[in-house]
Amino acid sequence: MALFPRECWRPAFWLPLVTYLLYQLNARFWHRPLPPPLTAYLSDLLAMPVILTLALVVQRRWVQRNPQFVLPDSWLLGAWLYISAWFELLLPLLSARHVGDPLDVAAYAAGTLFFRWVLNRPA
């Protein structure tokens, strides 16, 4: 078994992951100014491809034990609804530090669609 699963070597996975990590490094240490739309929605857009790829790896390796397995559309819809509800509805109710934003939900949807069309393929 390779150090990293084959799904993690796809540029469509590691580019969003590296972009997210660079964005977080900038936010915490470098403090370079970025355009407001990037600071508002980039992490939301990149989250779903990374989360869903990791979920796909777990399903293929330990649950389904089938490298051809792809996440069904109903699971993708469920993941999008869960993330959207948690971060845009429930968390803002529980913490004054968080604010719900419908455009974040749209960014999660775009990331989910990107995963579906590009990454959710048989190995």
Indicate the range of 5-19, 45-59, 69-83 predicted with least confidence.
Answer: 5-19
Does the reported pTM lie above 0.75?
Answer: yes
- Please report the sign of the dihedral spanned by the C-alpha atoms of residue 8, residue 14, residue 17, residue 22: positive
CA separation for the pair 21, 44 (Å, rounded): 13
As a whole number, the mean pLDDT across the chain is 95
Instruction: Determine the pLDDT at residue 96.
Output: 95
pLDDT in tens, 68-116: 999 999 999 999 999 999 999 999 999 999 999 999 999 999 999 999 9
